[in-house]
Structure 1
Amino acid sequence: MVMPSAITLIRAASLSDVAQYAYAATAPAESRLIFLAGACPLNEDGSTAAIGNYAGQAAKAIENMQAALTASGASLQDVISTRVLVASTRREDLVAAWEVVRDSFGDHDVPSTLLGVTVLGYADQLVEIEAVAAVLDS
């Protein structure tokens, strides 16, 4: 059974349509907010996945985010916003990670921020994805 989404994505007609995401999102007052720690590209044994590969690390971070969402009673469709951190100053690297994140969400194009940062917390880590989700509990 699919639960109704608590999320409403908002598009502003006066803002550029170049962005590949909604500019804002809301959740009703009765929704339960879920604040996820940054999803990292770590394997089950704690080692860093896809060393040197921005897209591969983004995919592993999404996989780990989905596990955290499932444990919280939510899914990617319940995410209300994301922040994607990429350890690089090269736009191409940021785009490689972003394309994986965007494609993972499909039509649920939540408001997102993409940032280039100098370093992330784990050895060989290139990508981290923060998220907030909202669900309506029955």
Structure 2
Amino acid sequence: MHGAIRARLTRMSPRTPANQPTPASPRPPANPRIALVNPEQLHPTPGYHHITVVEAGRTAYLAGQCPLDANGDLVGPESLNDQIDQVAANAVAALAAVAARPEDVVRSVVYVCGDESAVLGAAWHRLNRSVLGPAFRTAATLLGVASLGFRGQLVEVDLTAALPG
């Protein structure tokens, strides 16, 4: 990334209103091509960042990761937690297939069936504590939806990653 842009982004990177590092991401991302930005004019975030800037390079766009096992069967039709765990495992496997890690994710969209903020929040917290957790420190969106593609499906995660190297 160009020096002047990197310097400006570094100064603007993770902060809270008191200009302190964001607790959820106290260090810069492992991929040097990724810069995280929280402009002072925007509200503080609970761990994710308003803007993710990626230096030009290769990018992977993952299809929505569903809670399906290796046979294509839905995992935990009644359990949001079981489905989140399966989605996280599937996403990590998909990233690994292109030599990427959760730290290389630059954008995520999480879809959860339902409109109750407590359910959405619980899903968000479980994902952040999962093996996929570092993926949610960049630009992220959490959406409550009426339904997803498979009968009984409660969660889906859509990821974009900046490939290392």
Q: State the distance in 1 between where 2:69 and 2:164 align.
A: 31
By relative contact order (CA 8 Å, sep 6+), the higher-ranking structure is 1
Q: Tell me which residue corresponds to 2:83.
A: 57
Measured on the aligned residues, the alpha-carbon RMSD in Å equals 1.8
Over 3 Å counting, the alpha-carbon distance change for 1:107 and 1:89 in structure 2 is closer
Question: Aligned pair 1:15/2:42, yes or no?
Answer: yes
Q: Tell me which residue corresponds to 1:123.
A: 151
1:106 Cα deviation from its structure 2 partner: 4.1
Q: Tell me which residue corresponds to 1:85.
A: 111
Question: Does the 8 A contact of 1:50 with 1:57 survive in 2?
Answer: yes
1:96 Cα deviation from its structure 2 partner: 1.6
Residue from 112, 134, 137 that aligns with 2:162:
134
Q: What is the identity percentage for the equivalent residue pairs of Structure 1 and Structure 2?
A: 31
Equivalences for residues 70-109 of structure 1 within 5 A: 70-104=96-130, 105-106=133-134, 109=137
Q: State the distance in 1 between where 2:32 and 2:74 align.
A: 33
Q: State the distance in 2 between where 1:74 and 1:107 align.
A: 11
Amino acid at match of 1:17: P
Question: Does the 8 A contact of 2:104 with 2:163 survive in 1?
Answer: yes
Unpaired segments ≥5 residues, structure 2: 1-29
Q: State the distance in 2 between where 1:22 and 1:127 align.
A: 22
Q: Tell me which residue corresponds to 1:25.
A: 52
Question: Does the 8 A contact of 1:82 with 1:129 survive in 2?
Answer: yes
Q: Which has the larger radius of gyration?
A: 2
Q: Identify the structure with the greater strand proportion.
A: 1
TM normalised by structure 1 equals 0.87
Question: Aligned pair 1:113/2:141, yes or no?
Answer: yes
Moved >6 Å (runs of 4+) = none
